[in-house]
Amino acid sequence: MAKQKPRTLSGFLELLPEKQVQFDRMVEVLRRCYSLYGFTPLDTPLIEASQVLLAKGGGETEKQIYRFTKGDADLSLRFDLTVPLAKYVALHYADLAFPFRRFQIGKVYRGERAQRGRFREFYQADIDVIGDGKLDIVNEAEVPAIIYSTFTALGLRRFQIRVNNRKILNGFYAMLGLGEQSAAIMRTVDKLDKIGPAKVRELLTETELALPPDAAGEILNFMAIKGGNQEVLSALEGYRGRHPLFDQGLDELSTVVNYLAAFGVPEGHFVVDLTIARGLDYYTGTVYETAMLDHPEIGSICSGGRYDNLAEYYTDKQLPGVGISIGLTRLFFVLEDQGYLNQGMNTAPADVLLLPMTDQLSTAIAAATALRQAGIRTQLYTEQKKFKQRMSYADKLGVPFVLILGEDEIAQEKVTLKDMATGQQQTLPLEEAAQQVLAYLRQFDQMTPIIDT
């Protein structure tokens, strides 16, 4: 028969078993962390009616969308988890209690140009808190705490959460009389890191923006405000009283910063950064980015912010919220690429590979059943192979223990347990073997999926 060459689409991550275990472990940590903060899991369809999914219309994203027809239906794959959330909340409004706190970890689809480390199918891991009409500022302070505890639980250490407030930026440009141009100015200011202040000044004054030199100077001075969080807040106090939106943003930012210590976020992991704006139009208050300090080239690994109107395309209800998103597939790719994945994790499919050496398998099967009842992942190996091949299979799987059951063992009512790391072998009662395996496994309980030294 003619064969079809098997392949996986470019831009679609397909992991080998050990890596999949590491990926799943990260997902598990995220689920646990998000749950601890009172977020409930959701799982919405991957396909939505295009009319519904693209209600907002336009934008760069639309070109990337996987859109197709099935029968009469015009369908699209979701490209993020926010639009489906907006639809969900508008649709199920009457059944939900607000604030509604949900997390969702799921795949989304964007037909981006394929390149290394960019994916067309990728996991996002989102949390959002949605209020009905109003939403308290404390939620905006809690979000960095969640980011902090989540990345810490993953094992990451050298990261920094960067926070700003869109009201401060918008208020600042309004006080300079530049409200209308603020979006274009922010795009230029965003280049500060890359091209430096002199070039940015040139762009601000000499391109179509054509700002007066003193306005450009004010902007660059403002963006140069740096230092400890209290220092930055003090410097911002110097601008107070010139525009109400700015003042409101400064109050919010101060509240967020002041609650963070109570939330247990160490000062070093959190910084006010006036250059953070976030591209998306719909953020209206606090905005977040998260940087890996040793890998600035990666960009933000967790971003989000406060928005005033989640579901305006579906409902007249005012539904403000705050949320963040982790691009999990890309993060995993980067962590693997940079050697951050914990190599000490137990990624074998089983904890014990049980090798029966007799034709009668009942004792071996009963032993496997007992080990499983004790919570030990056990594989019974019954293929007709030589002992050496069996051991090499155990090696290839990376199982930590092999349990041998031959005639001698059965006669003695014992088993032989081989520790694959040390090569040590002991003949002992099954119950004791199980205890040894469980003791070994407990060392992994506190292990994080990432090692960041």
Which of 78, 102, 306, 330 binds its own copies (CB under 8 A)? It is 102
Give the footprint of its own copies on residues 136-155 (CB under 8 A): 136, 138-139, 142, 145, 149
Q: Does 48 bind its own copies (CB under 8 A)?
A: yes
The answer for residues whose C-beta is within 8 angstroms of residue 382's C-beta and 6 or more apart is: 356, 361, 364
Residue type at 66?
A: Y
Q: Of 139, 123, 162, give the one whose Cα is nearest residue 39.
A: 139
Which of 29, 30, 130, 135 binds its own copies (CB under 8 A)? It is 135
Q: How far is the CB of 239 from its own copies (least distance, A)?
A: 26
Strand 47-49: give its sheet, edge to edge.
Answer: 47-49, 73-77, 67-70
Tokens 């923006």 locate to 209
Binding segment for its own copies among 70-78, 284-292, 429-437, 442-450 (CB under 8 A)?
70-78
Which of 60, 95, 359, 413 binds its own copies (CB under 8 A)? It is 95
Binding segment for its own copies among 61-69, 209-217, 267-275, 285-293 (CB under 8 A)?
61-69
CA dist., res. 382 & res. 24, Å (int): 29
Give the footprint of its own copies on residues 188-207 (CB under 8 A): none
Q: Does 73 bind its own copies (CB under 8 A)?
A: yes
What string of DSSP letters covers 310-370? TTTTT-SS---EEEEEEEHHHHHHHHHHTT-B-TTS--SS-SEEEEE-SS--HHHHHHHHH
Q: How far is the CB of 99 from its own copies (least distance, A)?
A: 7
CB nearer to its own copies: give 77 or 204.
77
CB nearer to its own copies: give 68 or 191.
68
Q: How far is the CB of 233 from its own copies (least distance, A)?
A: 18
Q: Does 88 bind its own copies (CB under 8 A)?
A: yes
CB nearer to its own copies: give 138 or 280.
138
Q: How far is the CB of 170 from its own copies (least distance, A)?
A: 21
Q: How far is the CB of 284 from its own copies (least distance, A)?
A: 17
CB nearer to its own copies: give 84 or 171.
84
What string of DSSP letters covers 61-77? HHHH--EEEETTEEEEE
What string of DSSP letters covers 238-283? TTTTS-HHHHHHHHHHHHHHHHHTTTT--GGGEEE-TT---S-TTE
Which of 58, 60, 63, 69 binds its own copies (CB under 8 A)? It is 69
Binding segment for its own copies among 226-234, 286-294, 320-328, 390-398 (CB under 8 A)?
390-398
- Give the tokens for residue 136: 């308290």
CB nearer to its own copies: give 135 or 225.
135
Q: How far is the CB of 344 from its own copies (least distance, A)?
A: 18
What string of DSSP letters covers 391-443? HHHHHHHT-SEEEEE-HHHHHHT-EEEEETTT--EEEE-HHHHHHHHHHHHHT
Q: What are phi and psi of 421, to 5 degrees?
A: -75, -45
Q: Does 70 bind its own copies (CB under 8 A)?
A: yes
Q: If phi over 0 gives left and psi between -120 and 50 gives alpha, with beta otherwise, what is residue 133?
A: left
Q: Does 44 bind its own copies (CB under 8 A)?
A: yes
Strand 100-109: give its sheet, edge to edge.
Answer: 40-41, 100-109, 121-130, 321-327, 303-307, 283-292, 159-165, 270-272
3-state secondary structure at position 284: strand
Which of 201, 298, 313, 345 binds its own copies (CB under 8 A)? It is 313
Query: 103-132 b/e with 16+ CB inside 10 Å = b?
Result: bbbbbbbbeeeeeeeebbbbbbbbbbbbbb
Between 392 and 431, how does the x/- string for binding to its own copies read (CB under 8 A)? -x--xx----------------------------------
CB nearer to its own copies: give 342 or 379.
379
Give the footprint of its own copies on residues 335-354 (CB under 8 A): 349-350, 353
Between 351 and 380, how does the x/- string for binding to its own copies read (CB under 8 A)? --x-------xx--xx--x--x--xxxxxx
Q: How far is the CB of 154 from its own copies (least distance, A)?
A: 16
